[in-house]
């Protein structure tokens, strides 16, 4: 269940408490996720990859390029880029996630560095060091300050480097996703507010009802706020793509169609984007 906080003047102690709660949530979820069908670690170790087909198409060749994955979870997306030849670094604030990422990298015999840190707090050697900064599905909603995120992404990019974001569309977080919801209903904020949405969760998107009861705190960021944050950070957007279907039933009422993807029910006349991708470049010429 999710609840929306009343307007409230959050202070540093609130943010510290929310961050710690979210870190504990991701430590708990990591142990569930590595065993889940959703993530399919066994398939990855057998040579599969976790990327969506449009990601390599949109980002282009990565062989020999340095790639920093912000909020890498236990590294399947990061290591998928390593399989394609990128020199990868992943950062996540969950010790459990980073531990599992290192274990999977070793099992898959893929070179990678995983760092346990807040994405804002990377060592100075990361400044302007990467050809690509990559962010993947389910990341931005956990951050209270999208401008701070965008500034960090820009700081880690080398001149001419590329920020590539492949994310759930902010509209998805607006719609009812209670398990018994039978259709899309506008229920949660679209535009940013300082107060988080509070989640009392039993299980995660990968293993609903798994018994892992946790509290989590997320923040709305509209598409306009995300793109404007990227521009304010000094990056130049090249494209913003919106996708009407997803690869898994991220909302309980999505219907699987003949293409194998999940869409809003056919009985609904209206449309709503479910995913987006954004590519933006840093100023300067690549070395
Ligand atoms: C859904 S995962 C995104 C990665 C990838 N799409 C996946 O599903 O494997 C979100 C990740 O964000 C991490 N995270 C949340 N807030 C963070 C922060 N402030 N700094 C670093 N990592 C953070 C969590 O630990 C979690 O592993």
What is the CATH number for 44?
A: 3.40.50.150
**Ligand 1 atom nearest 137 alpha carbon:** 6
**Rounded distance from Cα 167 to ligand 1 centre (Å):** 12
Average pLDDT over residues 200-228: 82
Residue, of 1 and 156, whose pLDDT is higher: 156
Q: Are strands 66-70 and 255-256 parallel, antiparallel or unpaired?
A: unpaired
**Rounded distance from Cα 83 to ligand 1 centre (Å):** 21
208, pLDDT greater than 70: no
**Rounded distance from Cα 182 to ligand 1 centre (Å):** 29
Domain of 114? 2-281
Sheet of 208-218, strand order: 2-4, 197-203, 208-218
14, pLDDT greater than 80: yes
Locate 114 and state its tokens.
């995983």
**Rounded distance from Cα 243 to ligand 1 centre (Å):** 22
Pocket, ligand 1, Cβ cutoff 6 A:
22, 26, 71, 73, 76-77, 92-94, 97, 118-119, 136-139, 142
Give ∠ CA 57-138-61 in degrees, rounded to 5. 20
Indicate the number of domains in the chain: 1
Look at residue 110 and tell me if it is in a domain.
yes
The protein residue whose alpha carbon is closest to atom 14 in ligand 1 is 71
Look at residue 286 and tell me if it is in a domain.
no
Look at residue 287 and tell me if it is in a domain.
no
Look at residue 121 and tell me if it is in a domain.
yes
Q: What is the pLDDT of residue 11?
A: 84
Choose the residue to mutate in 26, 32, 38 for probing ligand 1, maximizing ligand atoms within 8 Å of C-beta: 26
Look at residue 115 and tell me if it is in a domain.
yes
**Rounded distance from Cα 136 to ligand 1 centre (Å):** 9
Q: Are strands 236-243 and 255-256 parallel, antiparallel or unpaired?
A: unpaired
Look at residue 111 and tell me if it is in a domain.
yes
Burial 250-261 (b: 16+ CB within 10 A, else e): bbebbeeeeeeb
Strands (E), 169-235: 197-203, 208-218
Q: What is the pLDDT of residues 104-154, one digit of tens each?
A: 999 999 999 999 999 999 999 999 999 999 999 999 999 999 999 999 999
The protein residue whose alpha carbon is closest to atom 9 in ligand 1 is 73
Q: Name the DSSP class of 202.
A: E
The protein residue whose alpha carbon is closest to atom 15 in ligand 1 is 142
**Rounded distance from Cα 260 to ligand 1 centre (Å):** 27
Residue, of 216 and 1, whose pLDDT is higher: 216
Residue, of 177 and 212, whose pLDDT is higher: 177
Look at residue 83 and tell me if it is in a domain.
yes
* Long-range pairs of 177-182 with CB within 8 A, sequence gap ≥ 24: 177/250, 177/251, 177/252, 178/1, 178/252, 179/208, 179/252, 180/252, 181/251, 181/252, 181/253, 182/253
**Ligand 1 atom nearest 76 alpha carbon:** 9
Percent of the chain scoring above 70 in pLDDT: 93
Look at residue 103 and tell me if it is in a domain.
yes
Band of pLDDT at residue 212, cut at 50, 70 and 90 = low
């Amino acid at each position: 269940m999710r609840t929306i906080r009343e307007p409230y003047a959050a202070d540093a102690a609130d943010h510290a408490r929310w961050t710690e709660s979210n870190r504990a949530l991701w430590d708990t979820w990591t142990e569930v996720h590595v065993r889940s069908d959703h993530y399919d670690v066994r398939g990855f170790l057998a040579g599969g990859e976790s990327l969506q087909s449009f990601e390599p198409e949109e980002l282009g060749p990565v062989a020999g390029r340095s790639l920093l994955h912000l909020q890498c979870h236990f590294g399947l997306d990061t290591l998928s880029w390593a399989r394609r030849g990128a020199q990868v670094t992943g950062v996540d604030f969950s010790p459990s996630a980073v531990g599992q990422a290192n274990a999977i990298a070793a099992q898959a015999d893929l070179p990678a560095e995983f760092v346990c840190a807040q994405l804002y707090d990377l060592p100075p050697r990361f400044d302007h060091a990467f050809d690509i900064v990559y962010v993947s599905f389910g990341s931005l909603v956990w951050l209270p300050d999208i401008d701070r995120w965008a500034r960090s992404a820009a700081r880690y990019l080398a001149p001419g480097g590329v920020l590539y974001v492949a994310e759930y569309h902010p509209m998805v977080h607006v719609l009812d996703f209670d398990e018994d919801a039978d259709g899309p209903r506008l229920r949660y904020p679209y535009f940013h507010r300082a107060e988080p949405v509070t989640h009392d969760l039993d299980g995660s998107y990968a293993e609903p009802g798994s018994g892992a009861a946790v509290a989590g705190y997320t923040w709305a960021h509209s598409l306009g706020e995300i793109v404007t944050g990227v521009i304010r950070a000094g990056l130049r957007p090249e494209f913003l793509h919106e996708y009407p279907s997803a690869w898994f039933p991220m909302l309980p009422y999505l219907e699987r169609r003949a293409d194998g993807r999940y869409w809003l029910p056919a009985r609904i006349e209206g449309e709503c984007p479910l995913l987006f991708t954004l590519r933006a470049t840093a100023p300067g010429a690549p070395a």
